[in-house]
Amino acid sequence: MKFILNYIRKDTWSPYIAGILLGIVVILTVVLAKTLLGASGAFENLAAYIGKVISPSNTYFNYVMPAGITWGVLLLVGVFFGGMFGAATSKTLKWGKKDATNSDVQWKRVFGPQTWKRWVLGFLGAIVLEYGAGIAGGCTSGLLISGGSLLVPAAFLFMGGMFASGIITALIVYRKRY
Amino acid sequence: MNFVIAGILGLGFGFSLNKAGLTKYHRIANQFRFKDMMVMKFIMTALAVAMIGLYALRGLGMITFPTAPATYVVGNLVGGLIFGVGMSLVGY
């Protein structure tokens, strides 16, 4: 029992143990809620509120991703607090700390120490990421893990594309240090 | 009731992501540099466990699969290519 508690307090688990936990969550999602996990769709459901104001006859926000507090939005709320809980158990929760917004050593080495840079890059990068997820029909969780576990071909096409461009982007960002 | 389940499942999802270190920039960036294979190990383990569990439960007739994500080859590929740029850049 003490061994388990000590393991929960560890900052980083073995990826295999954490992966098994996520696999069980995916199975429970299908059993209990008869749907699939997915993070990016919920952001689109929320963005649809703004999208409908700007363009009321927009096909995408009216039919593909209608506005609303959907199942996925509630899931995202859970993810937020689950992540915080995970950090709290290992005492790495940075809520309210001085370097809370930018504490990643590697990020500072590559892009510089300024916090505003991280906010700007995070915002712009997330636009690119969410746009891609919208085209592909899901993100890493919704398409790659959930779709992949049902052996949907789309998941593996998506993974190929993701790694191809991800490697090239990392090459451009890191250049000689790759 | 369904929304309560969503919240609880989200807790488990977020917890596993945090413990695997996917909430950190350097983990995801280093995966694309192949310096740190944690992300790949994590995703593949989750995939294998979920796959075995779901197909076993369907084989036993206990569940039916929900609507799977649609496959449209060009869209999935182009979407993946754009997604990868963002993921590698921000590392979220």
Task: Supply the mean pLDDT for chain A.
Answer: 86
| Per-residue pLDDT, A49 | 87
CA-nearest residue of chain B to A150? B51
Q: What is the pTM of this model?
A: 0.89
Residue B26 has pLDDT above 80, yes or no: yes
**Least Cα separation, residue B21 to chain A (angstroms):** 6
Tokens 């899901």 identify what position? A138
- Does the CB of B5 have a partner CB in chain A at under 8 Å? yes
B90 chain-A contacts, CB cut-off 8 A: 121-122, 125-126, 129
Burial environment of residue B19 by CB neighbours within 10 A (0 to 12, 13 to 18, 19 or more): buried
Q: Which of residues 62-81 of B touch A (CB under 8 A)?
A: 62-63, 65-66, 68-73, 75-81
Average pLDDT over residues B5-32: 90
| Structure-derived torsion over alpha carbons of residues B11, B24, A119, A170, reported in degrees to the nearest 10 | -130
Residue A176 has pLDDT above 80, yes or no: no
Read off the pLDDT of residues A106-147 as tens digits, 9 standing for 90 and up.
888 888 888 888 889 989 999 999 999 989 888 888 888 888
Read off the pLDDT of residues B35-75 as tens digits, 9 standing for 90 and up.
888 889 999 999 999 999 999 999 998 888 888 888 888 99
Contact B16, A12 (CB under 8 A): no
- Does the CB of B19 have a partner CB in chain A at under 8 Å? yes
| Per-residue pLDDT, A91 | 82
* A73 DSSP assignment: H
| Per-residue pLDDT, A81 | 93
Interface contact A157-B65, CB threshold 8 A: no
Read off the pLDDT of residues A52-90 as tens digits, 9 standing for 90 and up.
888 888 788 877 778 878 888 999 999 999 999 998 888
User: What whole-number distance in Å separates Cα of residue A113 and Cα of residue B41?
Assistant: 30
Helical residues (DSSP H) of A9-150, grouped into ranges: 15-28, 40-54, 59, 71-89, 105-111, 115-136, 148-149
Residue A96 has pLDDT above 90, yes or no: no
| Per-residue pLDDT, B77 | 92
Tokens 């309210």 identify what position? A96
| Per-residue pLDDT, A25 | 93
